[in-house]
Each structure stands twice: as C-alpha cells, then as structure tokens.
Amino acid sequence: MVIEKVISELWKQQYLDYKEERERVDGMTEEELVMLCRQDIIELNEKPYCTNMHTLSIMETIGCQHQIKADKIAGCSFCNWDSSRMKEIAHLAKLREKNVKLYADTIKFSFQRIRGENCTATLIEQMSVHDILNEKQYPQEAFHIMFKESGVYRNTPQIGIISARADSVTAEKVKMWRTVFKRSLTIGIGVECGNEFLRNHWLNKKITNENLKNATDIIHKEGGKVCANILLGLPGLSEDIALPLFLDTCQYVLNELQVDYVLISPLINKENTLGCLLNKQVSTISTQLLINAIRGLEKHFLSQLSKITFSPDNLESMKRMKTGKELSELEKMYKSIENMGTVYTTASDFYDPLLEFSYVKKRKMGQAAMLVQQLEEGMDQACKSLGLGDGVRKEFENELCNARLEELRWKHWN
C-alpha cells in the first residue's frame, strides 16, 4: 500500500537510529543488556495512572510490531507513540533476540518499577502494551512470570483491561487472560474507522472488517468484553466529512460488531504523523467538531450512551492546544463528557446546525467524490513534502480506482 511508503519515509530517521543502536549493542552480553534495559526503564520514571478503583500500568516492551519491521518503521499513520524512544526499544529488541526469558523478566521489572513488588491490585487493573496478545511483543514467558509463578499481585485482580490488535486475538489467548481476573476481562481493539478502505489505505491499520468480526466473536464466546477504540477526525480530511464518517463508525461498532464499550479519541496530529505532515504543524480537531459529534451521539445513539466514553488523555491534549473561546467551550464540554455514561445535554448549548447543513448538502453532491478528492489532494501534498515523486501518487490513485464505490460511501449514515 502507498500509505506504508509514506509513513516509512516519514519515520526514516527513527528507523536509522533504531538500526544503528541495535548494531551498537549487538556485541553486549545478555547480562550487560539486562542492566542497560533496566537503566533505561529507571530513567523513564513512568508513573501509573491510579485512583482508588483503577490503575493503568505501562509496561516496557519491544514496541508495536505492526509498526517496527525488519527493514523500516511504518505503523498507523495517526500514531507516534514510540517516536522518542527508539534507542530504548532497540535495546529491548536485542535482549529479546538473545534471551526471551530475560526479556520477560525485564517486562516484569518495568511493571514492578512503578507498582512495587507484590503490589495490591485495585478493582480495575489495566495493562498497557500496544498488543499484549502478540507473542513477539509479550511472550508466554512474560505472562507466566507475572501471573503464574510468583506473580506480581498479592491479591486476585477483579476486573482487567488489556489492548490488542484484532488479528492477534485467539480463543486460547483470551482464555489464558480470563484466568487472571476474577470478575471480567475487557479487550480494547483498534477499529479507528468503520470504513475499511480508509482504515487500511489511509490510516495504514491493516485490519479488515473480517478481522474485527472474528476478534469480537471470539472474545464474546470466551466470556470477555470488547471495547472498540475509534477516532473522531481523520488526518487530512475536512471536518464536514469527518463527522458523518465518525457517526458511521459508531453505527458499525455498536450495531454491527455489537461491542460492549466504545472509547473515542479526538484526533491529535502529533509529530511524525500524517496529519502533522499535511497540516504542517501539531494540531487537533476543532471544539465545534467535538460538540457536533456529541450532539450526534445524543441524537442517534441515546439508548447506548452508557457504552461510550472519550479518551481523557486526548481531551487533555485538546485543552492544552486551545485558547480563547474554543478553550472556554471545551472546558464546559469537558465537564459533561469526562465520565462514562454521562448524558451529553451540554452539547445542545453549543450545537452548530450550520455544520450539519454543510455535510448534508455536500453529501447530496456525491460523498464518494468528495472523499476521493480530499484523499488525492492529501496524498499529493504528502508525496511532495517527502520527495516521493509522481509515481507513488499515481500508485495511490490506482488504489482508489480499484476500490469499489461502495467502500467509499458512508453506508449507515443518512
């Protein structure tokens, strides 16, 4: 896919740093690598997100295996999670290559560094790893060391939340994780966008609708719950297109996939992402799009609002990037959306019918044509910015031509 070439070029320097660091530490002994990785973890000085009932623990691993490949770094076009710590990831990758048991021990060390040894589990325990069901990133050895041998908790955790790619979900792995938590297990999977073409050819997710359906079915069959992670706003697309695409995605995850929860992340165009490249700066969605999205949820999914929440991290990032009237409105909105299950009545106070009129009018003019035009313009700009040439841009045009028209329509939103 062309989008992978774009993201690979965008992350070229990070890949070179990663490759150089792996080569530099290649001659180290296993013991030296362990000490180096532990020192990296100590210097990170991560703090868990913790309340009386909920703890989020970030564990250090070799990074997202969808992103980090043998010959390049090219993950999701909207994500820059590991961009600032490629050298530390290179150290862990070399350790895993040499001794998976020591790598697993190091993951446990990263957990205990922030939680302490033999810690007390809170009611909700959330394990933060890009894809905790990926054997390369989080091997069986790490699971057994942390949960089957001496263990990391002094008591049995009640409710667990983990995250995984849909194509990593298997019945065996879900059963394995179900044994850790006494009451329930929720697995967050990245859907991002209900439109499969956009998810894969623009966001570079490489997850099909079939992958999502299979993962959801397996998790439910094994007694788990599913949280669909979705985006509000897509890089390079106008907000009057982003809004109906978002509501279409909500329809897809709630009524087709029938997930248990939905976590909405307002798009933040960070460094080393497609959105930042196209906007030429770090940016986020407008407060007005957030308002209209919440109004749309209230209007079309009122009976399912208890399943829906917004990412607090992304909302806080939005607040830091807003000033004046937008910040004032966002702060008022924030009070009504910070907790799952809140009724979003505050949205009515700020709702802008002109935005809805705009996308309704344009939809009648041909939604697929609008979308194709913006995708072509965005790819043209990305290729010029990265010096990729006309050949790559034309290759993307061929991808668009080969897509069925139905794939570019908003199927559920009318």
Write the CA distances from 145 to 72, 313, 363, integer angstroms: 31, 30, 54
pLDDT in tens, the chain (414 residues): 999 999 999 999 999 999 999 999 999 999 999 999 999 999 886 666 666 677 888 899 999 999 999 999 999 999 998 888 999 999 999 999 999 999 999 999 999 998 999 999 999 999 989 999 999 999 999 999 999 887 899 999 999 999 999 999 999 999 999 999 999 999 999 999 999 999 999 999 999 999 999 999 999 999 999 999 999 999 999 998 999 999 999 999 999 999 999 999 999 999 999 999 999 999 999 988 988 898 899 889 989 988 998 888 888 888 888 888 888 877 777 665 654 343 333 333 333 333 343 444 444 446 677 888 899 999 999 999 999 989 999 999 999 888 865 666 655 444
**Which contacts qualify for 351-356: CB closer than 8 Å, 24 or more apart?**
351/291, 351/292, 351/295, 352/288, 352/291, 352/292, 355/239, 355/240, 355/243, 355/288, 355/289, 355/292, 356/243, 356/292
Beta strands in 63-183 (DSSP E): 124-128, 159-164
Q: In whole angstroms, what is the distance from residue 88 CA to residue 383 CA?
A: 30
Strand ordering across the sheet containing 225-232: 49-50, 54-58, 124-128, 159-164, 184-192, 225-232, 261-266, 308-310
pLDDT digits (tens, 9 = 90+) for 290-349: 888 988 998 899 899 889 988 888 888 888 888 888 888 777 776 656 543 433 333 333
Angle at 244 between CA 243 and CA 245, to 5 degrees: 90
- Which domains does the chain possess? 158-344+360-413 (3.80.30)
Other C-beta atoms lying within 10 Å of the C-beta of residue 129: 21
- 295 conformational bin, left if phi > 0, alpha if psi -120 to 50, beta if neither: alpha
Query: In the numeric block, which tokens belong to residue 285?
Result: 């969605």
Per DSSP, the three-state class of 264 is strand
Per-residue pLDDT, 346: 33
